[in-house]
Amino acid sequence: MRTRRFCQFSLKSLFVAVTLVALPCGFLAWQREIVEERRETLTRIEQLGGCWHDASKNYLGDEGYFGVKITDRVVRHELTWLRRQLGDTGIKSISIPSDSPQEIADRARKLFPEADIYHPDFLKSLHNFNPLFNAEIEK
């Protein structure tokens, strides 16, 4: 008499189970890589002498500019729950020093779509665009 084995699976079932486990693990690894790349970029910007501001903090206090109370802040790119759990944070603005390579600014624009990026090349283009701004500087 042949005994029946307990918990017997077919090879097809095993492949399906492995695939169902691998997909979320792959997504988690991809998100973790994005978080690490964002952290490395912020560290590199700080080493170059730049700075950044966290979107979760209000640096103006409760009253904001000129005593106008800030009640609602516009967030253009909300981070997902998973990215927040992995330690990522939304960035409000990044200031990149003038002597930094252009690739740092390009990388910051790619990795931080929610942030306002301040780089001297961008500011020079604003000076050329607005003649009133140039007139105020010349006075």
Cβ–Cβ under 8 Å, residues 133 and 126? yes
**pLDDT for 131:** 52
The 8-class DSSP code of residue 6 comes to S
Cβ–Cβ under 8 Å, residues 93 and 42? no
The residue extents of the domains of the chain are 11-138
How many Å apart are CA 10 and CA 72, to the nearest integer? 56
For residue 107, the tally of other CB atoms under 10 A from its CB is 18
| pTM of the predicted model as reported, rounded to 2 decimal places | 0.68
**pLDDT for 56:** 67
The 8-class DSSP code of residue 80 comes to P
Q: How far is the CA of 44 from the CAs of 16, 36, 89, in angstroms?
A: 42, 12, 17
**pLDDT for 71:** 44
For residue 93, the tally of other CB atoms under 10 A from its CB is 16
Q: What is the pLDDT along the chain (139 residues), one digit of tens a residue?
A: 667 677 788 999 999 999 999 999 999 999 999 999 999 999 999 999 999 988 766 555 444 444 444 444 444 457 889 999 999 988 989 999 988 888 999 999 999 988 888 887 655 555 555 555 444 444 4
How many Å apart are CA 12 and CA 130, to the nearest integer? 66
**pLDDT for 136:** 47
CB-count exposure of residue 91 (10 Å: 0-12, 13-18, 19+): buried
Which residue's entry shows tokens 């009640």?
A: 71
**pLDDT for 67:** 40
